[in-house]
Every structure is written in C-alpha cells, then in structure tokens.
Structure 1
Amino acid sequence: MRMEETKTRFSQRHPLLFGVMMIILAVALISGVMAFFRSMGWTPGSFSMSGDKIGVVHVEGMILDSTDVVSWIHSLEKDDSIKGVLLRVNSPGGAIAPSQEIYQAVTELNAAKPVVASYGSVAASGGYYASVPSRLIFANPGSITASIGVMAEFVTVTEAMEKLGIKPEVLTTGKYKAAGTPMRELSYEQREQMQGLMMDLHEQFVDDVAAARTMDRARVAAVADGRAVSGRQALALGLIDQLGSMSQAVDRLKELCEIDGEAVVVEGPIEDVPLIQEILGAIHFDISSSLPQGWTFSYK
C-alpha cells in the first residue's frame, strides 16, 4: 500500500519525468520484441499464414559494406516460401569488394529463383555492378546507370608543408609501399603500378558485366569508359532489359513466379537503429573512412 502511494506521489510530483520514463520503457519493450522477431527471420509482411511471397532487397546509398545486404539475400534464398525477389537499387556506387560480394550473392540467388532488378534515381557503377546478374533489369527512362569504371583519389600536401617549413620523412620497405601517402607525390613507378592495379579492377568489372548480361565483351568494353547513361540509353546499349517503374518490375516478377493476384511482400535488410535514436528521432549519419595512406578505389 505504501509503495503504491509512493508511486502515485512520484507521478504526481514529476509528471513529465514519469511520462518520459514510461515512453522509454515502452520503446525498450517494443524494440526487444522486434529484435526477437528479426532473430527468428520474421519481418513486416511475413506474418501472413497464406499466400505467395516475394522478397525485396534494398541496395541504397554508397556501397561500403555488403554484410547486411548479402545476409538478407542468403536468407531469402533459403526461404522456400519466397518465390522470387525484387532487387531495388538506388546507389551511385561504392567500394569494389562489397559490390562484388553482392554481385556473387545475386548470381547465386538468381540461380535458385527469379530476381528482377528495379532502378530508382541512380544505379551506377558499383550499384550497377552489384545488380547486373539479375534475370531482368528494369529502369526508369530517367534513371542514371552504367558508369562502368574505376576511380582512385587521394590528396598530397607536400607543397603546403614546404611553405610551412615542414619536411616529412616516409620510411618504407619497398618503393611501392608509400604510394598514395599525402606526404609525398607519386613517383613515376608508383603511378604506373597504381594505374596497373586500377586497370585490373576495371577488367574484372567488364568481365563480370559481360558474363552476367551474356554480352560480347568488346561491346561492354566499348562503353566502359566511366560514362553514365540514362535508362533509355542503357536500353539501347543492351545494359538493361526494359523501361518501367518499380510496380511494373513487380508485376513482371510475379509473372516469372507464376503468381496470380496479390503477393505478400517481405522487405529487407532491416536497419538496426539504436534505441536512443528511435526515442529521440535523431538523424543517423554514416561517416566513411578511406584506405590507409589516404587513397581509395571505388566504383562511382
């Protein structure tokens, strides 16, 4: 009885604080339940006990890490209730290896069940690379895509340091080890070696696009100069299959899966948002770092 009176007095004396505490408790409980559902492989839209299902994989923003996307693709591949998958891409590109990992996962998924890609505003460079193994690729006429190429960027501060009277010393065990350090300009040998590395990565990009699209390699190489093209231009070049919206891509996917009527849609990957962010509605910023020595290779 005394405890109830104490609680009542506390809520009456501090109504704002008491309300905030109740909100935090409610969000914590909901987050816990959602985390349990996710661990069991349940997602919004997957609670229907009947009806055919299609999966949706979202590839959005800069591709800097493929872990979540690849994991979601593998879960859809293993789920026999998922008849086909829509790959929704809205990415300007990103790092090379993660793009290749998604490419491989999409290749394996498409061998198991139909995969149709749908391009939003942009699916360029690494975004195109990652999605090109899809069975069919849809793009809007104004979608920006292709941009097949590799870029390396770094800065040097040697002149600025000289003006400040600073003379850096860089010790290495080989003449190529410090290539790209901001403390020293590239030597001729370093520039040649880096250019060779970039060309090898570029050739991998061209090879994979040609293999996935079953196109003559020379035809792909002819447009693999870093140019970005519209969806309409990409169709003429053979880089996509059809012009159309996301809903049209879904309709075509359902045809490939022989689904009549409505289908249950299971979307992912689900981003894990920190609890405090859910409570406060804060904006989440991703800060990416470049490779050591100040340079990075990327498809963009």
Structure 2
Amino acid sequence: MSLDADLLADRRRLRRRLTLWRALAIFALFGALALVAGIREPSTMLAGGAHVLRLPVNGFIAEDRRLMQALDRAATDDSVRAVLVAIDSPGGTVAGGEALHGALARIAERKPVVAVMGATAASAGYMAALPAHRVLARDATVTGSIGVLLQTFNMAELLGRIGVQATAITSGPLKDQPSLFRPLTDEGRAALDRVVEDLHAQFVSMVAAGRRMDPARARVLADGRVFTGRQAVEAGLVDAIGGEREARAWLAAERQVPDSLPIRDVNVRSTAERLLSSATEGFMKILLSEWLGVDAPRALWQPSR
C-alpha cells in the first residue's frame, strides 16, 4: 500500500515537471514566432478587399495614439467602404472622447459612419457616436449623461487625527487646487468651475453639431441625465432603435454599401502582441489547470452550492 502511494506521488511530481517544461516550450515557441512576426509586421492592418470596418469602443475611453493612426489610415483606405462604431462604454476622459470624436469625424467626411449602441453609451461613449451619419440604440441602452465631472476629496481631517500634516509650497494660490490635503478655497472652486463649464460647452457644441440640433435645445438635454434608448430617440439624441443588422440594412439602402461585404474589426495590436498574449494565456491556463486543478488544495467560495 505504501509502495503504491509512493509511486503515485512520484508520478504526480513527474507530471508537474513535464507540465512546466511543456508550458515553457510553448511559451518559447510563441515568443519566437512573435519576434519574427514583429519584424515582418506589415505597415498597415487594414489591407484586403472591400469591407466594412467595425470599431469596438468598450470600457473606459482614453486617448490611444495607435488607434488614432489606424482610423486615419481607414479614412483614406479605399477598401474600407464604411465604418461601424460598436459602443459599449460608460465614458472616459474628455480628451480621449474628443480625440476619438475627431478621428471619426474625419472618416465621416469621406465615407459612411454608423454607430450602434450596446448596453451603455454614456458621456464620452455618447460623444463617440456624434460624428456618425446614423445612430442606433437598443430600447434598454443607457445613453446620454452629457456633461463633465471633476472629483476630488479632502483627507485633511483624517490625517490630522493620526498626527500627519501636509505642507505645500506653491508658485501661486491655485497651484494646489484641488488638493487632497486641504479644502477647496473659494478662489480655487471658482477656477475649477470655469474649467468644467468650458469643457461642458465644448461637449454641448459637439451634440448640437452632430445631431443638427439647436444649441439651446442641446443645453437643456446636457444636464448630465441618462436616457434609455427609447427616450433618446424621442429627444433626438439617437436616430432609431436597432442593432448591427439594422445598421447594415441602412448602409445598403441609403449609402449603397452591400450587406454582403465582410466586417473586419480594427485591431491596433501587432501580430507579435497577439501571439505573446495568446502564449501568456495558454501558459497560465496550463499552470493553473495542472498545478492547482489536479491535486492542489482549494479554498473557493461557491454560493451556488
């Protein structure tokens, strides 16, 4: 019985060693392929026959230099017949939304752009839809939230309780406004209000221009509230209810872009990056499944059981 237990333990140790070396070999192979692919990476990632380019806009929106370059190439690429912007984002930085808005506006000057909203297309996510010639949303899409948010907090009282005092030496009274270590002064609050108001005015101008709406009407809608897709249609912020199928139908009927054309996603990651990502995921999967999933101890919360 003891001999059987020893043999079983030896087999498990051997299996772990083989698994590790197998994973390392796979990782090395993918790394070599990634290196070769990176050296031979073509200058454009939009080559190919006629197609509709899909731009997924997911999660937090920030400025992405490589994405801007890819979109600028798409604007002059004759194989790109139209651009479909698929948005599922709660927003992001004002500068990131502005950069994406500008890149899509440059494309819209040359070819059709249609935006399709998913679960959420709010704030900078809604800003990204504004250059589109057609904007579609689901009935339950959460959109709008046209506004600007600047948040800070003050830790002075908390730090005082533990005997910590912060001192700031500044070149002017507004240099440390806002500060984590002291309350906003009246002068600092007024200065930040002016910043937020200016950014908000820029956003409202984008809405008025993109939706061909009277600026006064746009300001009424730009109080930060969110809308459902149906409410957004009624308010004039969205053109119609629908998804990608309706977007393709509109492109075919109104812009003569056949719905038989293939769709290709914008991918700003190089082949090398994609290979390395796949290798890393595979490596971690092997280690986790073999080292932790076979006979390692488990401490998991499983409320469904």
Q: Hey, which bits of structure 1, 4+ residues long, moved more than 6 A?
A: none
Structure 1, 177-186 or 164-173: larger mean CA deviation: 164-173
Q: Which residue of 2 aligns with 1:280?
A: 280
Q: Say if 2:63 and 2:100, in contact at 8 Å, map to a contact too.
A: no
Q: Which residue of 1 aligns with 2:31?
A: 28
1:223-266 deviations in Å (ceiling 9; x for gaps): 11100101100000000111101221122223344133511222
Q: Work out which of the residue numbers 180, 184, 189 in structure 2 matches 1:182.
A: 180
Q: 1:84 to 1:280 in 2, by over 3 A?
A: same
Q: SS where residue 60 of structure 2 aligns? A: coil
Q: Which residue of 2 aligns with 1:223?
A: 221
Q: SS where residue 195 of structure 1 aligns? A: helix
Q: Work out which of the residue numbers 126, 148, 160 in structure 2 matches 1:162.
A: 160
Q: Which residue of 2 aligns with 1:251?
A: 249
Task: Give distance in 2, aligned partners of 1:249 and 1:38.
Answer: 32
Q: 1:105 to 1:124 in 2, by over 3 A?
A: same
TM-score, normalized by length of structure 2? 0.79
Q: Percent same amino acid among aligned pairs?
A: 28
CA apart distance, 1:31: 3.3
Task: Give distance in 1, aligned partners of 2:126 and 2:180.
Answer: 31
Task: Give distance in 2, aligned partners of 1:16 and 1:190.
Answer: 60
Which aligned pairs between 1:90-101 and structure 2 lie closer than 5 A?
90-101=88-99
CA apart distance, 1:21: 4.5
Q: Which residue of 1 aligns with 2:288?
A: none
CA apart distance, 1:170: 1.2
Task: Give distance in 2, aligned partners of 1:216 and 1:235.
Answer: 16
Q: Which residue of 2 aligns with 1:8?
A: none
Q: SS where residue 69 of structure 1 aligns? A: helix
User: Which amino acid is 1:118 matched to?
Assistant: V
Q: 1:99 to 1:15 in 2, by over 3 A?
A: same
Q: Which residue of 2 aligns with 1:88?
A: 86
Q: Work out which of the residue numbers 110, 113, 117 in structure 2 matches 1:112.
A: 110
CA apart distance, 1:214: 1.1
Q: 1:261 to 1:218 in 2, by over 3 A?
A: closer
User: Which amino acid is 2:203 matched to?
Assistant: F
* Rg larger for: 2
Q: Say if 2:31 and 2:279, in contact at 8 Å, map to a contact too.
A: no
Which aligned pairs between 1:118-267 and structure 2 lie closer than 5 A?
118-267=116-265
Q: SS where residue 39 of structure 1 aligns? A: coil
TM-score, normalized by length of structure 1? 0.81
User: Which amino acid is 2:190 matched to?
Assistant: E
Q: 1:137 to 1:34 in 2, by over 3 A?
A: farther
Which aligned pairs between 1:39-58 and structure 2 lie closer than 5 A?
39-42=42-45, 47=48, 52-58=50-56
**Cα RMSD between the aligned structures?**
2.3
Q: Which residue of 2 aligns with 1:62?
A: 60
What is the aligned length? Answer: 265
Q: Say if 2:71 and 2:103, in contact at 8 Å, map to a contact too.
A: yes
The unaligned stretches of length 5 or more in structure 1 are 1-13, 284-300
